[in-house]
Amino acid sequence: MAGVGSSIEAVFREERGRLLAALVRRFGDLDLAEEVASDAIEAALVHWPADGVPPNPGAWLMTTARRRAVDRLRRDRTYAARLAILQVEADRAGPAAPAGTGSSGELPDERLQLFFTCAHPALPAEDRVALTLRCLAGLTTQEVARAFLLPPATMAKRIVRAKKKIREARIPFRVPGADELPERLPGVLQVIYSVFTEGYAASTGPDLQRPDLAEEAIRLARILRRLLPGEREIAGLLGLMLLVHARHEARIGADGELVLLDDQDRSRWDRTMIEEGQGLVVAALTGGPPGLYGVQAAIAALHDEAADLATTDWPQIVALYDVLLALAPSPVIALNRAVAVAMRDGAEAGLALLDELAGEPRLRGYHPYPTARGDLLHRLGRHRAAADAYRQALGWAGTEPERAHLRRRLETCSGEGDD
């Protein structure tokens, strides 16, 4: 029975997003789709443990959900009429891209439409992330709330608000046309990368990382790559996440403490993940101009290929940061470039670049900035100034492992005079 239970859980995880997308496309309403998808899953929980998982579980779930939806619409004629109007308007707005159905009877994969609906620019950024995790990753509202350290009631309101906006703004459930795709795809990728970033480096809380979130982002990127295999920036994003996530076990010590790149046991890095990521970098940078995620993935690959910090190809990394700054100027990229310059040309050169960013308002509250200044000042023997920078970073750091790391840095400065 335990084996059946794990099989059922795996099916639900894989099929829920696909089922929800197909139901939204069929009935034009996210609330109804979620309701009847949940009903179908509850029915499966009753029947499958006794009867076994059916040969085509997705089709079973779809048939059951569709019957529940028809029953609901028969009971509520007003609701049915409203959905019919919405469906006509959606069809007029533009046909959905044809979904591949695979083998006969297989549930069509219309998740691509759902990706673009959940990440629509009309929705606030935080709502896009919440809705993507709820609808495409299959997380419960409670799980989404826990992922972002919010009360479940607050997250529930956020999800309800997003679905209401989709309904009232008549946001269509469709894949953008070829002319719209370059403008819309980055928004979808940004949502997935935001989920990964929170998983790789949690913004707040007792833990440095949330691997479940990072792995969910990778899973979503894999789905997106299967649905849009020709988009090089999807390859870049997936490659970037794999190359970074490959190091996640080595980033944490035995007691949960932060382990910096220079001190990590590189034998603990996931080489299979790195090799896959390297292949995706090639795909991302071949056949056209470089994209934001492809270049970041190339930087991550250079870190993963090096035997240690000293043998890392810092000149090439600086050159890639120059490309990034040309593609998307930002103070965070400038900060990372300054750190790379310090490794290539020395701490003084890096510190000069960091000092140029001192008045940048977007770095206010961003603890890696004073942390980087503290590290370079410490390398230069300016221990009092380094301690001041670490204290500022300590006030901005969001997780306990980061704060503990900064307290240890401060201790190295105590009692040391300036050179």
Cα dist. 77→31, 64, 67, 74, 194 in Å? 16, 21, 16, 6, 41
pLDDT digits 0-9 by tens, 88-135: 555 554 444 433 333 334 445 788 888 999 999 999 988 998 998 888
Instruction: Give the pTM.
Output: 0.82
Of the listed ranges 5-9, 160-164, 325-329, 377-381, the one predicted with least confidence: 5-9
- Rounded CA separation 53/381 (Å): 66
Q: What pLDDT is attached to residue 10?
A: 67
Query: Token pair of 83, please?
Result: 């959905």
Strand partners, 205: 399
Q: Where are the alpha helices (DSSP H) in 287-399?
A: 292-305, 314-327, 331-345, 347-356, 368-379, 383-396
The yes or no reply on domain 334-418 and CATH 3.40.47.10 is: no
Q: Residue 28 burial by CB count (10 A; 0-12/13-18/19+): exposed, middle or buried?
A: buried
Query: Token pair of 8, please?
Result: 């059922």
Q: What pLDDT is attached to residue 139?
A: 78
- Rounded CA separation 138/12 (Å): 9
- Rounded CA separation 48/50 (Å): 5
Which range of 50-59, 205-214, 350-359 scores highest in mean pLDDT? It is 350-359
Strand, helix or coil at 258?
Answer: strand
Residue bearing the bigger pLDDT, 162 or 415: 162
DSSP 397: -
Residue 143 scores a pLDDT above 90: no
**Burial profile 175-205: b = 16 or more Cβ within 10 angstroms, e = fewer:** bbeeeeeeebbbbbbbbbbbbbbbbbbbeee
- Rounded CA separation 376/338 (Å): 10
Q: Where are the domains of the chain?
A: 1-80, 334-418
Averaged pLDDT, 140-156: 84
Question: Count of CB atoms within 10 A of residue 121's CB?
Answer: 12
Query: Token pair of 348, please?
Result: 């003084």
Enclosing H/E stretch for 227: helix 211-227
Q: What pLDDT is attached to residue 409?
A: 93
Residue 263 scores a pLDDT above 50: yes
Residue 2 scores a pLDDT above 60: no
Q: Of 315, 239, 307, whose CA–CA distance to 279 is shortest?
A: 239
Q: What pLDDT is attached to residue 318?
A: 98
Q: What pLDDT is attached to residue 125?
A: 87
Of the listed ranges 96-105, 224-233, 379-388, the one predicted with least confidence: 96-105
Averaged pLDDT, 399-405: 93
pLDDT digits 0-9 by tens, 323-359: 999 999 999 999 999 999 999 999 999 999 999 999 9
